[in-house]
Each structure stands twice: as C-alpha cells, then as structure tokens.
Chain A
Amino acid sequence: MASLSLRTLVRPAIPVAPRIQPLIAAFSTTSLLAAGPPAVKSRKDLPKKTKKTYKKKQNIVPVKKPGPGERKAFRKRIQLSNNSALPVTGIESLEAQTMAREESGGKMFAVPDQVVDQLRALEAFKTTQTWNLFRKPHVLVRKETVELMSKLDASVEKKEAFKCLGQDLTNGNTEFSPVPDTEPMQFTQPVYCLKLIQNIYKANKAVLEKTPLKMDWSRLTGLKQGATLADLALSAKESEFAWPTLSALWTELTQPGQPPVLLTLDGLAHINKVSAYRDPSFNIVHAHELLLVRTFVDALSGKTKLPNGGAVIAATSENNTHYHPSQELVLSQLEAGQAGREVPKPNAYEKKYDDRVYDALKNSQVIRLEGVSKDEARVLMEYWGASGMLRRALDSKAVAEKWALGGHGIVGEMERASLMTMRM
C-alpha cells in the first residue's frame, strides 16, 4: 500500500505504464538528487577515463527526408521541356488539317502550346515517355496516323475529347457505388467521373463555352435558360452529382446539332474483363456493368448513335494487357475480314469466351500498329540529332542498328537504346 501511495505522490513527467516501473525504485524515500553521487564499491564504479579527440568535428547536416507524397509527385511529374536541349528549327507546327494530309506522313511536327495544354489536361502525356529530353514536344506523323486521321477527316474540326484509362476503371482502385433500382445492378464511379468532367472542361473549355444546352436540366442543377455546356460541367462540385452531370453532358452531346465527339480509351483488355469490384451480395461485377464503361462500350458498339459525327477509339497493347481469348478472337476475325482472308473460327475447347465482348467489338475497324519504318526512324533520329541528343554520325548503318535494337522500330525502345544509355 505504501508503494502505491508514494507512487501517486511522485509522478513521472511522462506517464509510464505502471507495470514497467521497477519495483525497487518505488521503495526509495529520498529523491535521486538528494542521494548524492553513487558510492564507489568496486573498480567498475570509478569514473572512466575518456579519450580526448583532437579531430575537428565535421558539421553534419541531417539529411532532409522528403515529405509525404513528395516522392510520388516527383515520380509522376510530367516535364515537357528541357532548356539544355537545342531548339530545333525548321519544323512545321501541327495544324488541324496537317495530320490528314498525305504528304505529312513521315515528318516531324511541333505541337502547339495550346494543344499541349489540352493534351496535358487529358493526361495524354505519360511519365515513361521522354518528353523531358527535348526543348518542346514534337510528334512524328506516321503513315498509319495519316490513315487514321483521314478516316476521321469527315468530322468537323471542333471536337470534344474524352479520354479514359481502362485499367484505372476496373482494377478496383477508384470508388464505386451502386445505382438504385437497376437489374442487373449497375455501378457508377463518382470520384473518377468528377475528375473526368473536370478534365473534359479543361481540355474543351473553348468549345463548351460556346455551345448552349438543348434540353432542360433545371431539375438536376440550378441552371437557367441559355446556359452552356461549360456551365453544366462546372455545376458538378461534388462527387455525388458527378455521374448525373456526366450522363447529362453525354445526353446533350448526342443531341443533333452539337459538335462532334472524340471518345478514346487506352487499355481495352481491361474494360472487357470481370472487374475487381463486388456487388453488395459479394457477387463479381463485369466491367460492362460499370456505367462509365457501359457508356463507352455502347458508343463503341454503335448502340449509342453519334448524330453529329465523331469517333470512338479504343487502344490495346501487348505490354499492359492480359490473356483475353474472346477479345483476341474478335480482333483477329475483324482483321481477317478487312484483309479478305479466311475468318478464324472460335476454339471449340475454349470456355472463357465472353459474348458481351463480342457484341461490343463486332462493329469496329482494326488498325494494327507495328514499329516505325526505317525512313520514319531516320526522320526521328535526325530530330534527336538536331536536339543534340545523338553525338554519332547519322547514316543508314546507325539507323539500321537502332531500328533493330529497338525491336524493329518501336520508338520507346529505340529511345532506350540510343538516348537513355550512357555512352562515354
């Protein structure tokens, strides 16, 4: 009892768990300071000699650790210019009709600043690309680019652009919520939708501000008569209203008389699979049940008509993908049909075919992209040389070497082989 009462009197400055406190200390009635120096009982208790060091103490500055999120921000940062690189002169600027012209195939073009801002808003630049090695963003217009752009040529120059990333939508990394009264249950991704609306607004501000609303959305938002699409996009301040606003925007854009729309998506294989989401009864959710994906797929399959013209482009690659039998089958069938070859038949022993994927893709056209040709590679390498990135003489042998090392003209690999390896 005595120990308990004493402990209550002399409290340590920092509260310590009572169990950890040594029991012996509790029995002392004198304070530590009053006790004086400890008695010398053996040689161990004698004051030890300390070696004097005559070395000058170095001024050690503690390493400043990066703050939370700083490293990730550095990793994800997109740098589009480099003042150490030489400016390249004599390159035309990219205009609205440039890419569709036949003669611009196999040439470099400078991307205008305003387009750079739009592309940045749409997250078209990636961290893995080497934009930071050059003074300004330039692009090589390939033969296939001209082919694609001439297909889009029918549409008017003013375009709305949406861009989604298939992987982000289905890997379960963004929030989702079920839509009430739907059978089978459908889901929205409010946070992603809000971000998408903001990106659409940033990238297409000029067009959206000029386009008035055709329908009455006063029930959804407090918009007055004569409001524009930009006002509609801006009316979504919180993620709860993101999906209704986005669907309203999409409904507006599909009305006759509105500007044409370009819908693009990267990572097609990721939206054709069973997503990582689960419904409230823990059943798996197919990616096509996510409303944002559904909107895109409907546009891709032609279920949603685009009365004003426009294009829906989905991209898939061999790198960021997974084995998807039905997608591969559909694409190979479409390709064979376009080339006039014999259409491949489905494998009778394959169980994992997905009819939804077949329906989504059956009306589309396929363009297979390979690496750049040697002539295009030479143009690209001349641009690198003009930027001061290539030191060696540029002849056909150098082009052939880098073309082969880059896996038959894959631009990223060519950059790795020639720009990112240090040659002393």
Chain B
Amino acid sequence: MATIASGLRHARCASSIAAAQWRPSILPRSSFQLAIRSITSDSQKPPSLELEAAESVPIPYQGVTHARVVPATPSYFSREPQFNDLYIGISKLLTKYNHLPTVPPSEAPQMPWTKLEEMRAQMGEPIKSSHYAKVMRVAKRLNLIEPSLRPQEVKVALTEFTRDINPFLNMPNPITIDKFGRAVGVGKRKESTARAFVVEGTGEILVNGKTLSEAFGRVHDRESAVWALTATERLDKYNVWVLVEGGGTTGQAEAITLAVAKALVAHEPALKTALRRAGCITRDPRTVERKKHGHVKARKMPAWVKR
C-alpha cells in the first residue's frame, strides 16, 4: 500500500492538496487560506548546460527563502489546530495593542466568557484546562483595553471567546417611586409571593390589612417580616403595606423580608450592601424537593418486606 501511495504521489492534483486534511471545523472560518507558498514554476526547469545560453539562463531560487513549502501557521502539522490558531491570533493582537491604555478589571465591560466545556464542544478538540486558562488570560487582558480606544479587530477577536447570549444584559427593571411616594417590591420564598408598598412614614406595618400581631402568631415570623427595616434601623422611617399570598407563615414572612428590602433599595440605593449583609437581597432558592417514583417521599424508600 505504501508503495502504491508513493507511486501515485506525483499524480495528485493540486486541488487535493488544497483540500483540508483535518476535520472541517464546526465554526466555519471566515478566511481560510491555503497555507502553502509554492516555489515558482520556472525554477522547475533544469538549467541548460550550454554556454551560449548561459547569459539568458535565469538565476534559480531568486526570491525563494525556503526550499520547501512553509505552512502559514505553526499549528499546520498538529492534528487539532483550531484552538492553537485561536491562541496565536489573540497573542498577536496582544503584542500589537499592548501599548493601549487599560482600565481596572472592575471597570472593564462584563463579558459572558465561553466556559471550557462549551469551548471544547465548539472546537471539537480536547482542550486542556490549563491551556484554556492561558488563552482566557490573554482574552481578559485584551478586554481591559479602554473601551473607547478598543480597535475593531480586538472586538471581533473577543467575540470568539464569548457566548452568544449575554446574561449580563438580562437586567431586572429598576423599581421606581411613583407620584404617591410608593415603591413596590416583590419577594418570594418557598411558595409565597409578597408585594410590599413602602412609603416614608412613621413605622406602621400592615400585612393583608392586618397588623403584624394579627398576621403572624409567632414573634419570630414578625421579626423576620420587618428584618429589612430593623437591620438598617429604618423601622420608624417608613410605612409598609404588604399583600402576601401562598405558602405558610414562615414562607410568607420571609417573602415579605425580600419584598420590603427591594422596595427600600428603591428609596435608598446606598442601603443595598447593608441589606445584602443582612441577607435580605438574595432569594433563598430552596423549595420542596419533588417526589420520585419508587419512593414514598422525595428520598424515603418503602420499608423492606419479606416476599
């Protein structure tokens, strides 16, 4: 087989050489050049030995620096070159634009960077996580370039490293204060949903039209309902009117905490960190675990019965 292949080598047409010898990429590359520089055709003619023709004989290999075809990219000979190409491209960009001014990381635009798993799926290559980290370091460095001075080239290159969907653009609508001075916050916990209408006032709280003691029998629940105001020492500065439905008492009380905190942030945005520290900003995602077939409850298995 090997001999036949070597015998037929010269009979290959040029197009078969031009065809990619690796797996076609999932992402079609925009401009893929045949990475071979060919030696000029006239160099293939053997020089004449005749003296009279010696003057007219052109000097061979002029302008040719390589004896053989040289691949345009160093990853030509690797089996899976795409990721390497990406790295080379981005490194070149970094050397090119290294002089541009940067911003601190906290001020750089938030980018939905592609995760390692996603990158592997896109490239169809086994990418080492250390290599991935290296590439991402360069990409993140490029992202630090002052946004107004960022070249188009860099912007395009960075899109290769980002996901199609940007979750950072998914911002909730900001809560506004209406003409009556109310801010409406919505909070949830377990099965309960609460809407809190917060206005500046003297510290009166009504839950579904009832006072706290009528709405919640447990003192602990009452305290957790007003915890957002207590933790920030604003209990005597605002009036709260809450509508809450669904779930049990604990869920309702803690849904109110979240709702009041959100509405309070609309009044005083500076309180957000204090409220986050008090645990009033993050929604508690824990809910009832679903029941599974073959189980008595979510986890409980039926008792063992002999036969």
Asked if residues A400 and B235 are in contact (CB atoms below 8 Å), the reply is yes
Any chain A CB within 8 A of the CB of B236? yes
Q: What residues of chain B lie closer than 8 Å to A309, measured between beta carbons?
A: none
Kindly identify which residue among B203, B213, B219, B223 contacts A410, using a CB–CB cutoff of 8 Å: B213
- Chain B residues with CB under 8 A of A405: 212-213, 219, 222-223, 226
Check B40 for interface membership: any CB of A closer than 8 A.
no
Q: A401-B230, A416-B219 are in contact. Are A406 and B213 (CB under 8 A)?
A: yes
Q: Which of B214-249 contact A (CB under 8 A)?
A: 214, 219, 222-223, 226, 230, 233, 235-236
Q: What is the number of residues of chain A that contact chain B, defined by CB distance less than 8 Å?
A: 16
Is A417's CB under 8 angstroms from B235's CB? Answer: no
Chain A residues, CB < 8 A from B230: 401
Question: Does A335 touch B at the CB level, under 8 Å?
Answer: no
The answer to whether A396 and B213 touch across the interface, beta carbons within 8 angstroms, is no
B206 to chain A, nearest CB (A): 9
Contacts of A396 in B (CB 8 A): 236
CB–CB A404/B204 < 8 A: yes
Q: Mark contacts of B7-34 with chain A using CB atoms, 8 A cut-off: 1 yes-contact digit, 0 otherwise.
A: 0000000000000000000000000000
Q: B205: CB under 8 A from chain A?
A: yes
Contacts of A417 in B (CB 8 A): 219, 222-223
Say yes or no: A401 contacts B211, CB within 8 Å. no
Q: Which one, A397, A400, A404, A421, contacts B212 given CB within 8 A?
A: A404
What range describes how many residues of B lie at the interface? 10 to 19
Is A413 interfacial (CB-CB < 8 Å)? yes
Q: Which of A400, A401, A407, A416 contacts B214 (CB 8 A)?
A: A407
Q: How far is the CA of A416 from the CA of B213 in the complex (A)?
A: 10
Q: Does A403 contact B (CB under 8 A)?
A: yes
* B235 and A401 contact, CB distance less than 8 A: yes
Q: Is A135 an interface residue (CB 8 A)?
A: no
Are B222 and A400 touching (Cβ within 8 A)? no
- Check A408 for interface membership: any CB of B closer than 8 A: yes
Closest to B240 in A: A404
Which listed residue, A401, A408, A413, A416, touches B204 by the CB 8 Å rule? A408
In angstroms, Cα B214 to Cα A410, docked, is: 11
Min CB distance B153 to A, Å, is 59
Interface string of A386-424 (1 = CB under 8 A from B): 000000000011001101111110100100110001000
Check B212 against A407 for contact (C-beta < 8 Å).
Answer: yes
Q: Which residues of A contact B223 (CB under 8 A)?
A: 405, 417
Instruction: Pick from A371, A404, A413: contact of B203, CB below 8 A.
Output: A404
Least Cβ–Cβ distance between A409 and chain B, in angstroms: 9
The count of A-to-B residue pairs whose CB atoms sit within 8 angstroms is 42
Interface centre among A404, A405, A416, A421 (most CB of B within 10 A): A404
With contacts A397-B233, A400-B235, A403-B203 taken as known, whether A408 is within 8 angstroms of B211 at the C-beta atoms is yes
Residues of A within 8 A of B205 (CB): 404
Distance of A318 from chain B, by nearest CB (Å) = 8
Q: In the bound complex, how far is the Cα of B203 from the Cα of A408, in angstroms?
A: 9
CA of A413 to CA of B212, assembled, Å: 10
Q: Give the distance to chain A from B204, nearest Cβ to Cβ, in Å.
A: 7
A314 to B291, CA, bound (A): 55
Considering the chains assembled together, what is the distance between the CA atoms of A396 and B213 in angstroms? 20
Min distance, Cβ B211 to any Cβ of chain A, angstroms: 4
Report the minimum CB–CB distance from B50 to chain A (whole Å): 112
Q: Mark B188-223, 1 if CB is under 8 A from A, else 0.
A: 000000000000001111000001111000010011
Given A404-B205, A405-B212, A408-B211, A397 and B235 touching (CB < 8 A)?
yes
CA distance A401 to B222 in the complex (A): 10
For A400, give its contact among B211, B213, B236 (CB under 8 Å): B236
Q: How far is the CA of A371 from the CA of B203 in the complex (A)?
A: 14
Complex contacts, A408 vs chain B, CB 8 Å: 204, 211-212
Q: What residues of chain B lie closer than 8 Å to A404, measured between beta carbons?
A: 203-205, 212, 226, 235
CA gap between A287 and B205 in the complex, in Å: 39
**Bound-complex Cα distance A54 to B233 (A):** 63
Shortest C-beta distance, A416 to chain B (Å), equals 6
Q: How far is the CA of A272 from the CA of B211 in the complex (A)?
A: 28
A293 to B212, CA, bound (A): 36
Inter-chain contact B213/A413, CB cutoff 8 Å: yes
A421 to B219, CA, bound (A): 8
* CB-based nearest A residue for B223: A405
Q: In the assembled complex, how far is the CB of residue B289 from the closest CB belonging to chain A, in whole angstroms?
A: 32
Q: How far is the CA of A371 from the CA of B230 in the complex (A)?
A: 21
Given contacts A400-B203, A401-B230, A416-B219, A407 and B211 within 8 Å (CB-CB): yes
Chain B residues with CB under 8 A of A407: 211-214
A403-B229 Cα distance, complex, nearest whole Å: 14
Considering the complex, give the chain A residue whose CB is closest to the CB of B230: A401
Q: Which 8 pairs show the lowest CB-CB distances between chains A and B? A: A407-B213, A400-B236, A407-B211, A413-B213, A400-B203, A408-B211, A405-B222, A400-B235
25 cross-chain CB contacts under 8 A: A371-B211, A397-B233, A397-B235, A397-B236, A400-B202, A400-B236, A401-B226, A401-B235, A403-B203, A404-B203, A404-B205, A404-B235, A405-B213, A405-B219, A405-B223, A405-B226, A406-B213, A407-B212, A407-B213, A407-B214, A410-B211, A410-B213, A413-B213, A417-B222, A417-B223
Interface residues of B (CB under 8 A from A): 202-205, 211-214, 219, 222-223, 226, 230, 233, 235-236
Known: A397-B233, A405-B219, A407-B213. 4 other contacts (CB 8 A): A371-B211, A404-B203, A408-B212, A417-B222
